[in-house]
Chains A and B, each alone.
Chain A
Amino acid sequence: MAKLRTRKHKVVLSRSVGGDTGITILLTLLGIFMVLPMVYVISQSLKPLDELWMYPPRFLVKNPTPNNFRDLFRLMNDSWVPFSRYIFNTVLNAVGGTFGHLFLASMAAYALAKIKFPGSKLIFETIRTSLMFHSTVTAITSFMIMAAFKMIDTYWAIIIPAWGSTLGLYLMKQFMDTHVHDSVLESARLDGASELRTYWTIAMPMVKPAWLTLIVYSFQGLWNAGSSIYIYSEQYKSFNYAIGQITAGGIKRAGASAAATVLMMLVPIMVFVITQSNIIETMGSSGMKD
Chain B
Amino acid sequence: MAQKTAKAKAVARKDMSYVQWILKEMRRNWVAYAMIAPYVIIFALFTIVPVVLSVVISFTDFNMLQWPNFVWLENYITLFFADDTFLLACKNTLIFAAIVGPVSYLLSFLVAWFINELSPKIRAIVTLIFYAPSISGQVYMIWGTLFSADSYGWVNATLMELGMINEPETWFRDADWVMPLCIVVALWTSLGTSFLSFIAGLQGVNRDMYEAGAVDGIKNRWQELWYITLPSMGPQLMFGAIMAITGAFGFGAVVNALAGFPSVDYAAHTIMHHLEDYGSQRYEVGYSSAIATVLFLIMIGANMIVKKLISKVGS
B221 touches A118 (CB 8 A): no
Which of B38, B53, B224 is in CB contact (< 8 Å) with A104? B38
Q: Chain B: how many interface residues by the 8 Å CB criterion?
A: 113
Cβ-closest chain B residue relative to A11:
B211
A176 to chain B, nearest CB (A): 13
User: Which residue of B158, B236, B280 is within 8 Å of A229 (Cβ)?
Assistant: B280
B261 part of interface (Cβ distance < 8 Å): no
Tell me whether chain B's interface is mostly helix, strand or loop, or mixed.
helix
* Interface contact B39-A164, CB-CB below 8 Å: yes
Report yes or no: A57 in contact with B154, Cβ–Cβ below 8 A. yes
Asked whether, in the complex, the Cβ of A280 is within 8 Å of the Cβ of B199, the reply is yes
CB closest chain-B residue, reference A142: B50
Residue from B42, B45, B128 whose CB has the most chain A CB atoms within 10 Å: B42
For A53, the closest partner residue in chain B by CB is: B152
The answer to whether A41 touches B142 (Cβ under 8 A) is yes
Also in contact, A138 and B275, with CB within 8 A (given A41-B142, A284-B203): no
In the bound assembly, the distance between CA atoms of A86 and B262 in angstroms comes to: 28
> Is B154 within 8 A of A59, CB to CB?
yes
The reply to whether B188 and A268 contact each other, CB–CB distance below 8 Å, is no
Question: In the bound complex, how far is the Cα of B294 from the Cα of A136, in angstroms?
Answer: 13
List of A residues within 8 angstroms of B139 by Cβ: 37-38, 41, 261, 264-265
Q: How does the 8 Å CB contact mask read for A56-74 relative to B, with 1 for contact and 0 for none?
A: 1101000000000000000
The reply on B57 being an interface residue by CB < 8 A is yes
User: Closest Cβ of chain B: how far from A173's Cβ, in Å?
Assistant: 11
B142-A40 in contact (CB<8A): yes
Give the complex CA separation of A144 and B51 in angstroms. 12
A123 touches B36 (CB 8 A): yes
A19 contacts across to B, CB distance below 8 A: 220-221
Q: Is the CB of B42 within 8 A of A287?
A: no
Structural contact, B217 and A2, CB atoms closer than 8 A: yes
Q: Are B39 and A288 in contact (CB under 8 A)?
A: no
When distances are taken between beta carbons in the complex, the residues of chain A under 8 Å from B224 are: 13
Say yes or no: B235 contacts A289, CB within 8 Å.
yes
Contact among B40, B50, B114, B137 with A108 in the assembled complex (CB-CB below 8 Å): B40
Question: Apart from A34-B191, A160-B42, A269-B135, what 19 extra A-B contacts exist at CB < 8 Å?
Answer: A31-B129, A37-B143, A127-B43, A132-B303, A133-B299, A138-B46, A140-B288, A164-B39, A164-B43, A199-B35, A226-B138, A243-B138, A261-B137, A268-B136, A269-B128, A283-B196, A284-B201, A289-B235, A290-B311
Residues of B within 8 A of A (CB): 22, 25-26, 29, 31-33, 35-36, 38-40, 42-51, 53-54, 57, 107, 110-111, 114-115, 117, 119, 124, 126-133, 135-143, 145-146, 151-154, 157-158, 160-161, 188, 191, 193, 196-197, 199-201, 203-204, 207, 210-211, 213-215, 217-221, 224, 233-239, 242-243, 245-246, 249-250, 252-253, 272, 275-276, 279-280, 285, 288-289, 292, 295-296, 299-300, 303, 307, 311
30 A-B pairs whose Cβ atoms sit less than 8 Å apart in the complex = A1-B217, A30-B111, A34-B129, A38-B136, A40-B154, A55-B152, A107-B39, A111-B32, A115-B29, A119-B26, A129-B300, A130-B48, A131-B243, A132-B246, A133-B51, A137-B275, A139-B279, A140-B288, A141-B292, A145-B45, A240-B137, A261-B137, A261-B141, A273-B128, A280-B200, A280-B203, A281-B200, A286-B200, A286-B235, A286-B239
